[in-house]
A = this chain, B = another copy of it.
Amino acid sequence: MAARDRKTALSTHLKHAILTTAIRPGADLDEAAICGAFELSRTPVREVFRELAGLGYVDLRDNRGPRVSDLSHTTLRDFFLAAPMIYGAILRLAAHNATDVQIQALRGAQETFRAALRVGSTPDRTLANNRFHEITGEMAGNIYLLPSFHRLLIDHARISMTFYRPENSTMAENVSEASRQHDAIIDAIAARDEAAAAHLAEDHWNLSRHQIERFVMPSALDLPMGSHARP
């Protein structure tokens, strides 16, 4: 196996492990251990760290090891402020710009997501959901919105992994509802219906928000940004 492949393997492994919280938010990454595990020298490993830092997966501090980016109370609040706006814009643009090939890819991702709901583990479900939304980002194809969108997706995945309990029937029902919303999103994009796509984006994030609010949020959220995006 070539070093180049081991490097990309490391990159995707870390991304998946962080998205599924297999590596917890705030955890330190051991450079030496990773070098050993992936048979890479320090140079390429450190380059992967830099890339992941640019994408928002990890934080780099001087003279200290990299740390998985944190999920604090503050970031949760920021998340619910920014998500409705960015996600609405992404889905609106996706409905406007999506190619037929991309729509087929989105259907495929939704199939994978449904399969993960039936037989997969919670991390499987999270990664499949993440992939679904990544594709909507590719459809939108706006290089200025994608950086924020990707950061939102990272923490959306991690928040879901943190607070989701499969044994809770209400949560299981919410996930089914999310799957139905995915189907509606695909239909809106295929029909090039921007307004419907934007509306579904709001519904989809509200579903997440209510689920998390019910179980973890300590205090009320006022949403000036949401009212800005949709008065």
Q: Which A residues fall within an 8 A CB radius of B?
A: 43, 46-47, 50-51, 53-56, 75, 78-79, 81-83, 85-86, 88-89, 92-93, 96, 141-152, 155, 194, 198, 224-225, 228-229, 231
Contact = CB atoms under 8 A, between A and B. Distances in A.
A58 to B, nearest CB: 11
A217 to B, nearest CB: 17
Nearest to A155: B144
How many identical chains are in the complex? 2
Contacts of A146: 148
Contacts of A54: 50-51, 53-55
Contact of A224 (B43, B194, B225, B228): B194
A105 to B, nearest CB: 21
Contact of A147 (B56, B198, B228): B56
Most buried by B among A43, A82, A93: A82
Nearest to A48: B50
B93 A81 contact: yes
Given A50-B50, A54-B51, A142-B82, A224 B147 contact: no
B225 A89 contact: yes
B82 A228 contact: no
Nearest to A42: B43
B78 A144 contact: yes
A87 to B, nearest CB: 11
A78 B143 contact: yes
